[in-house]
Structure 1
Amino acid sequence: MTRRRGKKRTNPLIYVALVAASLFAILPLLWGLSTSFKSESATLSDQGWIPAQFTFENYRLVLFESKIPLYLGNTLLVAGLTVIATIVIAIFGAYAAARFRFRGKTTSMFLILMTSMIPGIAILVPLYFLAVSLGLYDTYAVMVIIYTAWQIPTVIWMLKGFFESIPDSIEEAGRVDGASHWRVMVQLIFPLAVPGIAAAAVISFIYVWNDFLIASTMISTDDKRLVAVGLYNYLSQYGVVWGQLTAAVVVTIIPIILVFVLMERRIVAGLSAGATKG
């Protein structure tokens, strides 16, 4: 009886709310997936969720007669370089913030966090003129630099909490064995931080993948467009053709789904461990 009373009863309204939220997020995706397999005439006449007649013509047009594959390649390149640059820079800053004690540490971390709260559109014009002045406008480099600068504060705070969750005894044991501070950091601490690093990398990747503001402002050459802007231009060029629109959306969503499926465990482990401290 004591054990039964000790168990907390879960409110069924919580499950109802979770199911409702899940349906709210999934139903538009399912509608898009269904529409992508319909012909253009069927998108207006066939209102059912299951197409009366399946067709892959929309996917053929998107993959072989549009620039969507080129936009996907551009986005993968920029996102990959951004993730590498962000993690390399932020990992050392987060480690220093978690392990070292120095004057002004709290103020510095607060100021770093404040930079991530500045709306991107507020500094878009100065960034544009700066890119033009430096000769970086309409290049992949300017997007990588801006994305990296905007992601570093958030990633530093994420990894800081993860590093603080790693026991200090591990570093002390390494120093007792004669390992240098650099060796302890690289060979002992960083491998343990892989889940947190993976979670931060995925968040940075998704940020670049979904961005429209910077990608539309800093790039003017169509062949250098990222997928968010390229998808918009593709639609504006051919008009609102719902079958091709939804097929293009499905194609651009697949990489994000694959990233989550392949790194689900590391993402959950990294976010939960980093939330314990910090």
Structure 2
Amino acid sequence: MKPYILRQKLRHGILFLTLSGITVLMLLPFIWVIITSLKPESQVYVFPPEWVPSPVTLENYQAVWASNMPLYLFNSTIVAVGSIILTLIVSIHAAYAVSRFKFRGMNVFMFLLIASHMIPGVANLVPTYLLASKMNLLDTYIVLILVYSMWQTPLVVWLIQGFLQNVPQSLDKAAMVDGYSRLGAMYRVVVPLSKPGLAAAAIVVFVYAWNEFVIALTLTSSDEMRLAQVGLKYYISQFGIQWGELTAAVVLSTIPVLLLFILLQKWFIYGLTSGAMKG
């Protein structure tokens, strides 16, 4: 075997082992969460810790499912899906305008747009709460959808416009020659070709809306409107932490995100890579 081929295989082998080790380290906490959720409460505190539950039990999942967690998961789903829809409706129009038209101050506009996304959400929490209170929107789906959509729109505009720049403008012109308006060409031609980019944006928005905690805790107060991530907090009380039920609830709250990513994984990766390339 030639020396350079041997060196190349050696580098690939080292890279594979390194990435495999990093992956295992990253997955180790979640694996431990799953193992803990399958243990009886008495076995959770055994030292040294046991990696194999004995016996394996689903009582923690049964307890979580009998609580209000299904309602919290339902609330999170409504808010996340609503945030995706509103964010994409606003962002696709803004991204189309930026990718198709050149106007004075466009670079400044795009810089300010992404800069607004860098401001910590907590910094705007007090004025957001006061405004929502005056508009009687506290403790509703609407306020959470509006806030999450507003917060994610700058990032999604940047993501989608990078992808739209790879859609030839000649397709727009051809559609308009066939009788479509500018918006008609966007809806009938550009949007269908932008599905991978929209899928990537949808996952980004969903993950943010599903995992956000501080805003959801502040803008909702009733148990009927509580989101899943806020509901996890109530497994921690002054009497201790219910580790078995908490880990079971964590696993259940993670499943929707994993399912969405698995379903849209191909489009997500293609959308990110296509949006990163220009020309």
What is the letter of the counterpart of residue 85 of structure 1?
L
Residue number in structure 1 paired with 2:182: 181
Query: How far apart, CA to CA, are the structure 2 residues paired with 1:121 and 1:16?
Result: 40
TM alignment of 1:41-190, pairs within 5 A = 41-45=42-46, 47-64=49-66, 66-190=67-191
Deviations 1:76-131, CA, capped at 9 Å, x for gaps: 01111111000000000000000011111111111111110101111111111111
Deviation at 1:72, TM superposition (A): 0.2
What is the letter of the counterpart of residue 44 of structure 1?
Y
Query: How far apart, CA to CA, are the structure 1 residues paired with 2:141 and 2:172?
Result: 39
What is the letter of the counterpart of residue 129 of structure 1?
L
Query: How far apart, CA to CA, are the structure 1 residues paired with 2:168 and 2:15?
Result: 36
Higher mean alpha-carbon deviation, 236-245 vs 260-269, is at 236-245
Query: How far apart, CA to CA, are the structure 2 residues paired with 1:133 and 1:262?
Result: 40
Residue number in structure 1 paired with 2:276: 275
Give the TM-score normalised by structure 2.
Answer: 0.92
Query: How far apart, CA to CA, are the structure 2 residues paired with 1:177 and 1:245?
Result: 58
Deviation at 1:234, TM superposition (A): 3.4
SS in 2 for 1:146: helix
Give the TM-score normalised by structure 1.
Answer: 0.92
- Which 5+ residue runs of structure 1 have no aligned equivalent? none
Query: How far apart, CA to CA, are the structure 2 residues paired with 1:50 and 1:201?
Result: 37
Query: How far apart, CA to CA, are the structure 1 residues paired with 2:62 and 2:238?
Result: 17
1:212–1:221 Cα change, 3 Å = same
Contact 2:75 2:225 in 1 (8 A): yes
Residue number in structure 2 paired with 1:34: 35
Residue number in structure 2 paired with 1:15: 16
Higher mean alpha-carbon deviation, 175-184 vs 222-231, is at 175-184
What is the letter of the counterpart of residue 242 of structure 1?
W
Query: How far apart, CA to CA, are the structure 2 residues paired with 1:109 and 1:150?
Result: 15
Contact 2:235 2:242 in 1 (8 A): no
Deviation at 1:238, TM superposition (A): 7.2
SS in 2 for 1:254: helix
SS in 2 for 1:263: helix
Query: How far apart, CA to CA, are the structure 1 residues paired with 2:45 and 2:184?
Result: 64
Q: What is the count of residue pairs matched by the alignment?
A: 275
Query: How far apart, CA to CA, are the structure 2 residues paired with 1:76 and 1:163?
Result: 28
Q: What is the percentage of aligned positions where both structures have the same residue?
A: 43
What is the letter of the counterpart of residue 106 of structure 2?
K
Work out whether 1:199 is the aligned partner of 2:192. Answer: no
Residue number in structure 2 paired with 1:259: 260
What is the letter of the counterpart of residue 208 of structure 1?
A
Contact 2:156 2:201 in 1 (8 A): yes
Contact 2:34 2:251 in 1 (8 A): yes
Deviation at 1:169, TM superposition (A): 2.6
1:164–1:8 Cα change, 3 Å = farther
Residue number in structure 2 paired with 1:25: 26
Query: How far apart, CA to CA, are the structure 2 residues paired with 1:237 and 1:169?
Result: 64
